[in-house]
Amino acid sequence: MSLDRRAFLGRTATMTGAAMLPSFASAADTIKLGSILDTSGIFDAYGKPMDMAMRLAVDEINASGGLLSKQVEVSGYDTQSDMALYSQYAQQLTRQDRVDVVHGGILSASREAIRQTMRKTKTLYFYNVLYEGGVCDRNIFINGVTPAQQVEALVPYAMKKAGKKVYILAADYNYGQITARWIQKFVADNGGETVGLDFFPLDVSDFGSTIAKIQTAAPDLVIAPLVGGAHLSFFRQWAAAGMKDRIPLASTTLGVGNEQLVLTPEEGNGIMVAYNYSQQLDTPANAAFKASWLAAFGDNSNIHETAVSTYQGVMTWAKAVEMAGSLDRDSIIDALETGISIEGPGGKVTVDPKTHHAVLDVHLMEFEDQRMKVIETLPQRQPIDTQSVCDLATSPNDNTQYEIQI
């Protein structure tokens, strides 16, 4: 067969056109869910399980007949842990793919990079990660725990166990600073005293002098909202100095990326944390979730907090779509604002209509042999930090991330 340039172009054009046709034809028959996550690069420890959770949720929805008798189709983009790609793919999702909803974003920086695009194009957006709180925007729904939800539960528990004098070590960016402020507040509220507060840039990995300083202050308890691989050194050096059995530790971040598997039992045992999810949660919903994850991916050891949040986010959205009976953004928001709940692997998740954050179960846990043993469950904690600054019922046009003053 001979093929000249003109014929080649002609055929290619026909084929491309033909290839594009079905997608046009089927556009009305499927619901498009956009996903934007770092599934490669330095944040992939968070992003990969989140992507798996999102796909698992969509598969389950489709297996049970889809939504509004349509199948849900995923348009997923890997942002490669590069903030610049977020804005690019957000444009692609909203203007080219014209998806019905977007789930995703991991760091607060990535969320802020795409939030305005979602708002402008009137694309409903779900951010499924624990974060520093304060976002007030009618177009976004957030179902991770905020510092107040976590700290309000963790501090009294840890102080009761350890004592009244608290030393805080926090990561030096907005999450750490805001969380440290909440810790100070709850320490004072519970009749305790903050005897020291240090902030660390994310690349600090040598905590020797800090450990000596802590001993000078002689606290009863150390609370450490430290973030990332370099900061993990603190827990290791703390144990190496033999401090672990002298002063108890609590953290608001350790374990979110399954860090309990990296620390040895000797280093980790006894560290107190509080989250919405632990693999050790003994509920039927969690057992079913872990079983279907195992069936879908062959290994369920990588399930973590933000993966479960993502799963719960997709399920909340699905319930709202069924309730609204349409894909219209405003009807779905109205449905969500009735305060709907789902029963997720981490417990009951209820949408808070005022803030579009979530009312969640917070579980107090302790590390035990590389697992997070659940000590106590505090049901349905309100996002009181964001509630103190944000009321979308009275000001639906609000579009700010508040710095919450305490």
Partner 1 sequence: MDLSIVILVEMLYAVASLVLISAGLAVVFGMMKVINLAHGEFMMMGGYATITAVNLGANVFVAMLVVAPITVGLIGLVVERLVIRHLYGRLVDTMLATWGLSLFFIGVATMIFGNTTTGISTPIPGFSVGDYQINGYNFFIILVAIALVVGMLVILKSTRAGLIARGTMQRSDIAAALGYSPDRIYMATFFCGSALSGLAGAVLAPLVGLVPTSGGAYIAKAFITVIAGGPSLVAGLLSSAGLFGLVNQIFTFAISPVIGDVALLVAAVVLLRLLPQGVTGKFFKGKL
Nearer to partner 1, 209 or 405 (CB): 209
Residue 235 Cβ vs partner 1, minimum distance, rounded to whole Å: 9
Q: Which is nearer to partner 1, 174 or 399 (CB)?
A: 174
Interaction between residue 65 and partner 1 (CB under 8 A)? no
Contact flag: residue 215 with partner 1 (CB under 8 A): yes
Residues 90, 35: Cα–Cα separation, whole Å: 9
Cβ pair 207, 170 in contact under 8 A:
no
Residue whose C-alpha is closest to residue 139's, from 156, 158, 120: 120
Residue among 199, 296, 380, 387 that touches partner 1 (CB under 8 A): 199
Helix, coil or strand: residue 99: coil
With CB under 8 A as the contact rule, which of the stretches 36-44, 97-105, 132-140, 378-386 interacts with partner 1? Answer: 36-44
- Cβ proximity to partner 1: between 111 and 231 the closer is 231
Q: Which is nearer to partner 1, 125 or 175 (CB)?
A: 175
Burial-class residue 90 by CB neighbours within 10 Å (0-12, 13-18, 19+): buried
Q: How far is the CB of 49 from partner 1 (least distance, A)?
A: 11
Query: Does position 209 bind partner 1 by CB under 8 A?
Result: yes
The length of the chain is 406
Q: What are phi and psi of 124, to 5 degrees?
A: -60, 135
Nearest distance from residue 267's CB to partner 1, in Å?
6
Residue placing its CB nearer to partner 1 in the complex, 126 or 367: 367
State the nearest-atom distance from the C-beta of 13 to partner 1, in Å: 38
When binding is defined by CB under 8 A, the residue of 83, 211, 285, 375 that contacts partner 1 is 211
> How many Cβ atoms are within 10 Å of 301's Cβ, its own excluded?
12
CA distances to 34, 38, 89, 198 from 96, in Å: 11, 20, 10, 46
Q: To which residue do tokens 């919903």 refer? A: 285
Of 57, 204, 221, 349, the one binding partner 1 (CB under 8 A) is: 204
Is residue 83 part of the contact set for partner 1 (CB under 8 A)?
A: no
Q: Does the protein bind partner 1 through residue 172 (CB under 8 A)?
A: yes
Strand, coil or helix: 363 = strand
Round to whole Å and give the CA distance between 299 and 306: 17
CB 172 within 8 A of CB 225: no
Least distance CB 140 / partner 1 (angstroms): 28
In the window 346-365, what residues touch partner 1 (CB under 8 A)?
Answer: none
CA-to-CA distance for 236 and 345, rounded, in angstroms? Answer: 31
Binds partner 1 by CB under 8 A, chosen from 200, 289, 311, 367:
200
The nearer residue to partner 1, 198 or 368, going by C-beta atoms, is 198
232 lies in the binding site for partner 1 (CB under 8 A): yes
Nearest approach, Cβ of residue 367 and partner 1 (Å): 14
Span near partner 1 by CB under 8 A; candidates 20-28, 202-210, 331-339, 380-388: 202-210
Are 277 and 304 in contact by the 8 Å Cβ rule? The answer is: yes
Is residue 174 part of the contact set for partner 1 (CB under 8 A)?
no
Q: b/e map of 59-70 (b: 16 or more CB within 10 Å)? A: ebbbeeebbeeb
**SS (HEC) of 1-56:** CCCCHHHHHHHHHHHHHHHHHHHHHHCCCEEEEEEEECCCCCCHHHHHHHHHHHHH
H or E stretch including 288?
Answer: helix 284-297
CB of 196 to partner 1, least distance (A): 10
Q: How many residues bind to partner 1 according to rule CB under 8 A?
A: 43
Show the site string, 245-274: x = touches partner 1 by CB under 8 A, - = not.
-x----------x-x--xxx-xx-------
Q: For the chain, give the longest Cα–Cα distance.
A: 87
241 is an interface residue for partner 1 by CB under 8 A: yes
Distance (Å, whole) CA 224 – CA 7: 67
Is 233 a binding residue for partner 1 by CB under 8 A? The answer is: yes
With CB under 8 A as the contact rule, which of the stretches 40-48, 58-66, 326-334, 384-392 interacts with partner 1?
40-48
Binding interface with partner 1 (CB under 8 A): 40-42, 44-45, 172, 198-201, 203-213, 215-216, 229-233, 236-237, 239-243, 246, 257, 259, 262-264, 266-267
